[in-house]
Amino acid sequence: MSGLKFSPGTRGHVTGREMGVDVTVLFVTSDRVGSGPRLHVHPYDELFVIRRGRARFTVGDETVEATAGDVVRGPAGVPHRFEVLDVPYEAQDIHLSPEWIQTDLD
């Protein structure tokens, strides 16, 4: 990548706007069972690509357990959250937007 650096504060995520694209990627790790975000919603689709560990996802009225190699979709406007079940947990969350927009619901 020939010395490409992002400004301080971008560790853990890179916005599409910084790179001139319409995708924002978050790198999520946890070593604590039970951790995870509050119930929230985005105005765009989000994809969770599970790399390690296991988590329980609630997407709308559905609940699914996902493990390494699984991909979970959170459609635009549908409330979702996850809870880490096995650690270490590691995932890439792909937001189909040039910026990360999240509205917490609880």
For the chain, domains (ranges, CATH) are 13-104 (2.60.120.10)
Buried b / exposed e over 18-38, threshold 16 CB at 10 Å, is: eeeeeebbbebebeeeeebee
Q: Does residue 3 carry a pLDDT above 60?
A: no
Across all residues in the chain, what is the average pLDDT? 87
Model pLDDT, residue 14: 64
Q: Determine the average pLDDT of the residues in 7-20.
A: 58
SS3 assignment, position 1? coil
Pairing of strands 71-74, 62-67: unpaired
Residue 57, classed as helix, strand or coil, is strand
Task: Report yes or no: 53 and 100 within 8 Å, Cβ to Cβ.
Answer: no
The predicted-structure confidence for 43-74, as pLDDT tens digits, reads as follows: 999 999 999 999 999 999 999 999 999 999 99
